[in-house]
Amino acid sequence: MTKKSKSGSSKNRSGRFSEPVTGLTKRFTASLDFDKRLAPYDIRASVAHARMLNAVGILSAKDFAAIQNGMKQINGEIASGKFPWQLELEDVHINIESRLIALVGDAGKRLHTARSRNDQVATDVRLYLRSAIDEISKLIKAAQNALLDLAEKHAATVMPGFTHLQVAQPVTFGHHLLAYFEMLKRDSERLTDCRRRVNQLPLGSAALAGTSYPIDRMQVAKELGFDGLCENSLDAVSDRDFAVEFTACAALIMTHLSRFSEELILWMNPGFGFVEIADRFCTGSSIMPQKKNPDVAELLRGKTGRVNGHLVALLTLMKAQPLAYNKDNQEDKEPLFDTVDTVVNSLKIFAEMLPGIRVNREAMRKMATQGHATATDLADYLAKKGLPFRDAHEAVAKAVRFAVKRGCDLSELKLNELRQFSKLIGKDVYPVLSLEGSIKSRSHVGGTAPKQVKAAILRARKQLG
């Protein structure tokens, strides 16, 4: 147990105060319940700080060794759940420091030289977020690989492509899946870019104005793997742009997962009947025995709202905050941590669910034949034979109207029926009007032809390495 100071109930309650805080104030100002998760980063940063203090002659080798040993023990205590956390001690930083002092005495009391909790917490959060970004980047890659595996199986599977959720043109399911691969690719790039700004060291800025000690910030940055230093002490202790930026990246990741989820939910409706999601990702109803609900997809969609909310919370937290550190900033953690947890869990289950998607090729094909999906192909056919595209468009519109009246697809009209709309139409029109013909013809980079889908998958696999 730590010794309590005479004048107050916690270590940052010095002789400056004449009365202890009320229980309510204590609970209201404490962050321990949620910032505990920063402990491993706090310890690493403290050891790096102590090593530097020793290197520049502020701390003796003996004291540094004591701090290092004490921190080792504390690490073990935390890992094994034996650490004596005390809400009295407000946050993770004071808890660890107090325990260190209890373990190693005066050496522990010297650790906080040339440092403040303001630059300490900013450093911890950046270290935490950097490792979260690295984990999320790996999970994005896993989801991308799962998309590629499914796309490979369905490089030639025909489905209706939609605009306005109306049948527009045939596409391949593989091509559709690759659209999500692209979204995740951008997400991954955004995170890599965000990481550069996360990975700058605030430590050394102390409370706000820097410190009078001859510190070596670069040494600390190197030990902790930072790319560089936050270059203005006032900015360093108050900046939370990196958390906002990360949460914006996360909101986009969730947005992408929610778009795919929404499609799965629609496609699982028997009206579409395009896919079945494996039972292990679905749940039943407590009243309707026949139900199989796509709960995982629905929750992925729903959790997007939560991350969007965190983004707005962080932006609002920072809006109009005067320099430098304000206690408001303690409120950065819960939204940030929950964003990380939500994105990590969502990406994991998304990647696991993808191989559990069974495709009903027939249902996809059937809907593709029902919406005159090859009308544009007919217009292109006429335009290639010399008819100006606008006139071709009009001729095909009339042909579609005729087919609608007949209750059949364009491709089911007889040649003489089609020729009422243009004499340029010949027997060679039928492959053009077929789903396969339409798809095969869109053969350029970014097109839906199976050949292009396969090439895109190869490129994608190479990119992922």
Residues of this chain that bind ligand ARG (CB under 6 A): 31, 35, 91, 117-118, 121, 325, 327, 329-330
Q: Which residue is associated with the tokens 């039928």?
A: 430
- Least spacing, CB of residue 318 vs ligand ARG, in Å: 13
Query: Which of residues 187 and 338 has its CB atom nearest to ligand ARG in the complex?
Result: 338
- Least spacing, CB of residue 47 vs ligand ARG, in Å: 19
List the catalytic residue out of 7, 14, 131, 285. Answer: 285
Cβ proximity of 323 and 240 under 8 Å: no
Query: Which of residues 42 and 245 has its CB atom nearest to ligand ARG in the complex?
Result: 42
- Least spacing, CB of residue 75 vs ligand ARG, in Å: 20
122 CB-near residues (< 8 Å, 6+ apart): 202, 203, 205, 230, 236, 237, 239
CB atoms within 10 A of CB 293: 15
Rg (CA), the chain: 31
Query: Which of residues 10 and 118 has its CB atom nearest to ligand ARG in the complex?
Result: 118
From 125, 100, 278, 282, select the one nearest 200 (Cα to Cα): 125
Query: Which of residues 335 and 450 has its CB atom nearest to ligand ARG in the complex?
Result: 335
Is 411 annotated as catalytic? Answer: no
Distance of CA 257 to the CA centre of its chain: 9
Query: Which of residues 31 and 438 has its CB atom nearest to ligand ARG in the complex?
Result: 31
Query: Which of residues 243 and 413 has its CB atom nearest to ligand ARG in the complex?
Result: 243
**Tokens encoding 353:** 């669910």
Cβ proximity of 238 and 328 under 8 Å: no
- Least spacing, CB of residue 218 vs ligand ARG, in Å: 24
Cβ proximity of 347 and 136 under 8 Å: yes
- Least spacing, CB of residue 329 vs ligand ARG, in Å: 5
Please give the full DSSP string across 110-142, using - where no structure is assigned. HTTTT--HHHHHHHHHHHHHHHHHHHHHHHHHH
Phi-psi category of 387—alpha, beta or left, where left has phi over 0 and alpha has psi -120 to 50? beta
Q: Output DSSP code: residue 89.
A: G
Is 154 annotated as catalytic? Answer: no
List the catalytic residue out of 80, 164, 212, 286. Answer: 164
Q: Which residue is associated with the tokens 């209890």?
A: 102
Which residues face 172 on adjacent strands? Answer: 158
Q: What's the number of CA atoms in the CB half-sphere (13 Å) around residue 170?
A: 32
Show which residues are catalytic. Answer: 164, 285
